[in-house]
Amino acid sequence: MTNPGLARDYRVRARGRRKAIEVLLREKLFADVVRECQEACELGLKSIIREAGHAVPMTHDVSQKLKEIERDLPESIRKALPRLMEISRQLRRDRELAFYGSEDVTPSEFFQPADAARAIAQLDEVLALLPPDK
């Protein structure tokens, strides 16, 4: 690891996106809320990986990497690891659908307030486990 500030940068950006998500929520852009929550979670989880001294994978779902480095994670993260892995997988699954849609799914019609609320709650779980910014 040659850039010790990268983990902090990921945390700062994840927390900043959390604030931006409130704007999307007010605008009732629920698909965009889901997408931004995924990206913020990804940054938060990648900060955990960097803090543990590991390179981050160039993938949106980091659940396998977290499992691989479990022994190097702080106890608080290890205790939450199954949940963090679940969050990473779930939000990764929704990522493209929320942004692009598909032939049978229009994101603005498909994603509802409950989907946005779930994604926000998942993001808040991740953010609560991150160390404070210094």
Structure confidence at residue 125 (pLDDT) = 98
Structure confidence at residue 1 (pLDDT) = 59
Conformation bin of residue 53: beta by default, left when phi > 0, alpha when psi is -120 to 50 = left
Structure confidence at residue 119 (pLDDT) = 98
pLDDT in tens, the chain (134 residues): 578 799 999 999 999 999 999 999 999 999 999 999 999 999 999 999 999 999 999 999 999 999 999 999 999 999 999 999 999 999 999 999 999 999 999 999 999 999 999 999 999 999 999 998 86
Helices (H), 1-134: 6-26, 30-51, 63-68, 75-100, 107-110, 113-129
Distances (CA, A) of 99 to 5, 23, 71, 105: 30, 17, 35, 11
Structure confidence at residue 2 (pLDDT) = 72
Q: Could you give the domains of the chain?
A: 6-129 (1.20.120.330)
Q: Is 80 helix (H, G, I), strand (E, B) or coil?
A: helix
